[in-house]
Amino acid sequence: MSLEELGTLVTGAGPTHVVGDDTRLFVADTNGDEILVLSVVPEVSEIGRIKVAGAPYGMAIDPVADSCGSRSRPPTAWSPWTSPAPTLFP
């Protein structure tokens, strides 16, 4: 993992938090009630959006279980979500 800047992208109504793997970033768009799915290979680009209930804030991904989810703000129950890709973590 590196803190190297990969590029910039203006997207979403109010992105607040990010989690990722080697090729993708999942961004909590807290103001837009969505999870933004970004690719970082070969360059930063939006590849999908996942509509979620409430304003997503905290997120986690689990490549072993091929799952992910978020909590909204103010804190509510954990909300699992799926990626637009056939599997989240190939």
Q: What is the DSSP letter of 64?
A: T
Using CA atoms, how far residue 49 sits from 12, 58, 64, in Å, is 9, 17, 22
Q: State the average pLDDT for the chain.
A: 77
Question: pLDDT for 30-47, tens place per residue?
Answer: 899 888 989 888 888 999
Residue 87: per-residue pLDDT: 46
Question: Stretch 58-83: mean pLDDT, rounded?
Answer: 67
The CA distance from 42 to 13, in Å, is 25
pLDDT: which is higher, 59 or 74: 59
Q: Which of 5-9, 29-33, 42-46, 61-65 has the lowest mean pLDDT?
A: 61-65
Q: Could you tell me the pTM of the whole model?
A: 0.74
Is there a contact between 17 and 58 (Cβ–Cβ < 8 Å)? yes
